[in-house]
């Protein structure tokens, strides 16, 4: 587990909330909005494909294009992860670059998470773990130093609120209770697995809020010193934003890094409306309906297929 995860555990429900100004008049995203596929720059495609299929349990869907592999869940043709081999890319150290902190693979059930953890233990794959109250999670690091969360949500009726905000923590996992839900049958990420959320290292929470809240239209779910968690439709978070590596440089062309992630909207009208709003707020479209935040994280606005 990375030290920043431990810090999150100790501070999520304590201290003075981070001071972030946001536009209360921002139009929220449609409740069905969710995260789509993630694309990463990696140093060795074969090594990364092997790790993501073996450790995380994703299935190789397509490797027909040179230096590019597409992976998804078993029993599904929906792409979740694209790996692009970029010549000269170097692995990252912990908290050394602004950009992606981790992307998060959401399993369909607690039973699936129990079976996943049994797989990690059996195959001696190093991981960290935590109970967030609204979810239970594991954390792994890929061959290029990029972090991956694999987690399962608790039912929404069990989530805890404090006024307008959702309460979260990083408590130790109750392994005995969790593993009792499993049956030891891990055959890879099952159908129904999705990308649940993104988490970013940013340099300034006010600038991050301007893009993700006022621009994209996410709603603030939880504030804490040095971090902000935002979502659509009342989810605990579709994007986490933290300043735990604020003095680091932005990930560059020679770094393993996030190339893009998708924000999936219900229809073309939603995409067009959000595109227009971002342009009006001064964020230039890099490509059609694709925008970068201050730290180079590229989000593509796409329609639910």
Contact indicator for 204, 214 with CB cutoff of 8 Å: no
Quick one: pLDDT at residue 155?
A: 97
pTM confidence score: 0.92
Domain count, the chain: 1
Q: Tell me the pLDDT tens digit for each residue of 137-146.
A: 999 999 999 9
Asked if the model's pLDDT at residue 6 lies above 90, the reply is: no
Q: Tell me the pLDDT tens digit for each residue of 66-122.
A: 999 999 999 999 999 999 999 999 998 877 899 999 999 999 999 999 999 999 999
* Domain coverage including residue 52: 3-303
CATH code for the domain in which residue 266 is found? 3.10.180.10
Quick one: pLDDT at residue 284?
A: 95
| Cα pseudo-dihedral 82, 149, 74, 236, rounded to 10 | -100
Q: Tell me the pLDDT tens digit for each residue of 167-217.
A: 999 899 999 999 999 999 999 999 999 999 999 999 999 999 999 999 999
Quick one: pLDDT at residue 17?
A: 37
Banded model confidence at residue 304, pLDDT cuts 50, 70, 90:
very high
Asked if the model's pLDDT at residue 43 lies above 90, the reply is: yes
Within 10 angstroms of residue 69's Cβ, the number of other Cβ atoms is 23
Banded model confidence at residue 244, pLDDT cuts 50, 70, 90:
very high
């Amino acid at each position: 587990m990375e030290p920043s995860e431990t810090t999150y555990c100790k501070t999520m429900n304590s201290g003075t909330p981070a001071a972030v100004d946001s536009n209360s008049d921002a139009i929220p995203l449609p409740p069905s909005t969710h995260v789509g596929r993630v694309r990463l720059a990696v140093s060795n495609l074969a090594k990364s494909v092997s790790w993501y299929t073996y450790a995380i349990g994703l299935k190789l869907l397509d490797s027909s294009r040179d230096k590019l592999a597409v992976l998804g869940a078993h029993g599904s043709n929906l792409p979740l992860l694209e790996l692009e081999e970029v010549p000269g890319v170097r692995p990252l150290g912990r908290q050394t670059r602004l950009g992606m902190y981790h992307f998060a693979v959401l399993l369909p059930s607690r039973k699936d998470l129990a079976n996943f953890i049994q797989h990690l233990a059996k195959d001696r794959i190093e991981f960290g773990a935590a109970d967030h109250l609204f979810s239970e999670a594991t954390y792994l690091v890929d061959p290029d130093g990029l972090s991956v969360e694999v987690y399962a949500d608790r039912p929404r009726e069990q989530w805890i609120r404090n006024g307008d905000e959702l309460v979260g923590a990083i408590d130790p996992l109750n392994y005995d209770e969790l593993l009792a839900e499993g049956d030891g049958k891990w055959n890879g990420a099952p159908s129904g697995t999705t990308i649940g959320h993104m988490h970013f290292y940013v340099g300034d929470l006010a600038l991050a809020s301007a893009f993700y809240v006022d621009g994209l239209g996410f709603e603030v779910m939880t504030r804490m010193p040095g971090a902000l968690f935002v979502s659509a439709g009342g989810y605990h978070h579709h994007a986490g934003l933290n300043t735990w590596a604020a003095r680091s440089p932005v990930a560059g062309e020679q770094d393993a890094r996030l190339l893009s992630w998708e924000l999936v909207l219900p229809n073309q009208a939603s995409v067009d409306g959000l595109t227009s709003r971002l342009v009006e707020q001064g964020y230039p479209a890099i490509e059609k309906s694709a925008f970068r935040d201050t730290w180079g994280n590229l989000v593509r606005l796409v329609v639910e297929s």
